[in-house]
Amino acid sequence: MPSRLALLLTFGFAVFLFWRDSRQRGSVTGAVWIPLLWMLIIGSRFVSQWLSLFGVSMGAVTLEEGSPIDAIVFFSLIVCGLYILRSRQVRLLEIVRNNGWLTIFLLYCLASVLWSDFPFVAFKRWIKIIGHPIMVLVLFTEPEPEQAVRSLIKRCAFVLVPVSILFIKYYPEWGRGFDDSGVPVNVGVTTNKNELGWLCFVLAFFFFWNLLQARRVEEPRERREELVLNLGFLIMICWLLLKAHSATSLVSLTIGVLVVIFLGSKIVNKQFIGAYFAVGILICVVAEMGFGVSAEVIRALGKDPTLTDRTAVWQDVLAVPLNPLLGAGFESFWLGERREKLWEKWWWHPNEAHNGYLELYLNLGLIGLIIVLGLFIGTYRKITRELLTDLEWGRFRLGFLIAVIVFNWTEATFKALHVVWFAFYIIALQVRRVELEDAEVLTEATDEEGSREFIVTGSSWREAVAV
């Protein structure tokens, strides 16, 4: 097929899917476009990188300062998100009270800017990560929050999945490349194979879960269309995942899917999830200590036991002098002399530890690690309670939580504008709300699509959307 024809068909396919989704999702307001643009950018390439791809240069870009055009784009989206939340009269104190661990983490990240060697750079990076909870709040303050989340991820896939396939098959100068060792790789709409793997991990997990929900649609025609749509995208995403050769994404996805399937079994007593979880951890520990299961899994995936030199990098970064309690400061370890010394040894110039927990320690110290551990535990406790009232959404959250915990053993996602980190906020943010028809309503508004606004209050949507 000629590349131009493939481009035209891909564009038409995406437009059709957006049209179809907009007709079926009338309760989703136009405000969802803000978090959608956010996810499209962090899930593919930054605006400056897209412009560079088409030969438009926006000046020099450094690791410390980034690109001015990217800063403007992200800041504009954050401002738009804040404007939407202000128009919906979201109560900040209510959000803070319902998200204690997440609030502590963000405030500690801000405080760590003070002991960073590059405080201004660290502060600008902190401003960007504030965009994650803002975008999720826009979703959770929609008339139907869960439907807004579905539309967000679906619409993101409508663009990034077919365009990735288009790039790989018909525009190899954009969709393929070479890794640091000169081996050819597939990158799709992203900049490297790992990023393509991250994107596929998030999208594949969602479409698997959504495929299970499509079976429960009552209207036969709609059910059939939803099944075909979800299964089709799941096949395309799995194809991309295999092309990316991202072992971490594949293993994490498999574990998350198994958790969803396990929780959906009728023989599983949801009141004893904690016991199942403890037994699972015990089995993993015994299997690792007694049989070295992780090394065998790594070899089965065609990887070397050093995880492509990751373990050696871990040893080197741990040898760097650092305050063990506070770390180097928010997103500051891989800056300045520390980075230069490590780059002198490693020709492929790492800019992360390729381990989320080690990366947290390097930037935020043991205190940061403890706070994130508290965030995990708090999220887990909320989810286990929700499993008794909303099994489907609860098993989506628990499956993704466990997958993310595993994912961060060989990838660092608790940082900056990472698509997995953004997706984590969807299951780690609690918003309590009421509809206009309830007695606590304070205002009423109508947007262009005729949907009604609401006020965030102490009442709950499904008792608690997330942690």
pLDDT of residue 66: 76
Contact predicate 264/393, CB 8 Å: no
DSSP structure class, residue 185:
E
Structural domain range at position 207: 3-59+66-456
Residue 466 lies in a domain: no
What single string gives the DSSP state of each residue in 64-128? Answer: TTB-HHHHHHHHHHHHHHHHHHHHTT--HHHHHHH-HHHHHHHHHHHHHGGG-SSHHHHHHHHHH
**Structure tokens that stand for 252 in this block:** 């994490």
Residue 41 lies in a domain: yes
pLDDT of residue 455: 40
pLDDT of residue 137: 95
Residue 345 lies in a domain: yes
> Which mean pLDDT values do the consecutive 10-residue runs of the chain (467 residues) have?
90 92 78 95 93 75 77 95 92 87 95 94 93 95 90 95 95 84 85 92 95 84 89 95 90 93 84 77 66 57 58 87 93 90 82 89 95 93 86 92 91 87 92 45 40 40 37
Contact predicate 419/152, CB 8 Å: no
**Structure tokens that stand for 116 in this block:** 């960073």
Contact predicate 89/443, CB 8 Å: yes
Residue 462 lies in a domain: no
Cα–Cα nearest to 227, from 237, 236, 217: 217
pLDDT of residue 301: 55
pLDDT of residue 220: 83
Residue 464 lies in a domain: no
**In sequence order, what are the beta bridge partners of 62?**
66
Residue 463 lies in a domain: no
Residue 416 lies in a domain: yes
Give phi and psi for 111, each to the nearest 5: -65, -35
pLDDT of residue 291: 53
**Structure tokens that stand for 10 in this block:** 């891909």
pLDDT of residue 424: 95
Which are the contacts of 467, defined by CB distance < 8 A and separation ≥ 6? 99, 101, 102, 375, 378, 379, 381, 382, 383, 427, 428, 429, 430
pLDDT of residue 412: 86
Q: Which helix (H) or strand (E) holds 272?
A: none
What residue type is 206 in one-letter code?
Answer: F
Residue 420 lies in a domain: yes
Number of domains in the chain: 1
pLDDT of residue 108: 97
